[in-house]
Amino acid sequence: MLIIRTNGTTEDRKRKISLPSAQKIVGGYVEVVRLPVGVLLVDEDAQVKRERPPVNEAASRLAGQVILGDAIYMEKLSDLT
């Protein structure tokens, strides 16, 4: 699992993550963005928040679409507990 932050930093974590922990990292309810290899977990409400989070350039490149806020990359969704 790799946390991809909007400031360009990443954090590699070797263990599985719980849904509440994922929600805390992305800043809201989790939306799954499927990739050719793996998935991104993102904030499903980021587009409509009063204070929109910044664009996550690295996650946007992976997804081929604009991703706002911090994201979590996982090779498989089963790493979410």
**pLDDT tens column, 51-75:** 878 999 999 999 999 999 999 999 9
- For the entire predicted model, the pTM comes to 0.92
Say if residues 39 and 33 touch (Cβ distance below 8 Å): yes
Confidence of residue 15 (pLDDT cuts 50, 70, 90): confident
Q: Can you give the pLDDT at residue 51?
A: 84
Average pLDDT over residues 10-39: 94
Q: Please state, in angstroms and rounded to a whole number, the distance separating the CA atoms of residues 28 and 44.
A: 7
Query: Cα(46)–Cα(18) distance, rounded to whole angstroms?
Result: 20
Share of the chain above pLDDT 70, in %: 100
Alpha-carbon span 69 to 59, nearest angstrom:
9
> For the chain, what's the residue count?
81
Cα separation of 41 and 59, whole Å?
A: 10
